[in-house]
Structures are given as structure tokens and as C-alpha cells.
Amino acid sequence: MPRRIVTDIVIPAKHGRACLVKKGQILRIHLVEGQQVGDCAFFNADDPREQFHVGQSWAYAVMLGTGTARAFTHFYSQPPRENVMLTVVEDTVKRHFGNCAGR
């Protein structure tokens, strides 16, 4: 089945945007210009108390062997639910999460 674009949104630097992604739809995050950093938050539309948890996703990626500490294929919600919220179908960057230096 061919894919079609449902919504195309450009978010300017220093701005934010919310959108609904339904089960089975694909969300593509694409760098448009310059050196940018995108921060994302994902929530369950039916229960906003359930949200993406980077630590849980990192732990499962390493523990289950489905990714690495820098890139993983499943985004999990926070405990106690720990549900898969998103699945990565393509990652052209393959390295995420910069190092933090203590200064």
C-alpha cells in the first residue's frame, strides 16, 4: 500500500508543535536547515499520563539487544506501564544523545 503524507509541518527554531499520530501512521522528523537539535515528547492521546521515557527505552534497547545506548528501535513509556509507544522504521542519523560535560 503506498504511503501518503497526512500532514507536513515545519517547526521554526525555538518553537514547538503538537500533532496526533495514530497507530499505524509514520512520523518523520527531518532536519530542514543548519545545526539543529530537536527535543520530542510523546504522550498517549487516550491517557496523557502515559508518556515516552528515554531511560526506559535506553535500558530495554541495551537489555533486549534491540538497539544501543545511542540509538534504539522502540520508544517505551515510563514505568509501571512500559508499553511500546513508537517503533523506529528508519534512522538515517544512527547516533543520538550527545555527551554532557561537567564544567
- The alpha carbon dihedral of 53, 54, 60, 66 has a sign of positive
Instruction: Specify whether the CB–CB gap between 38 and 63 falls below 8 A.
Output: no
User: CA–CA distance from 100 to each of 41, 67, 97, 103 (Å)?
Assistant: 20, 21, 9, 9
Question: Per residue of the chain (103 residues), what is the pLDDT tens digit?
Answer: 677 888 888 888 788 889 999 988 888 887 777 776 677 899 999 999 999 998 899 899 889 988 887 788 899 999 999 999 999 888 777 666 655 544 4
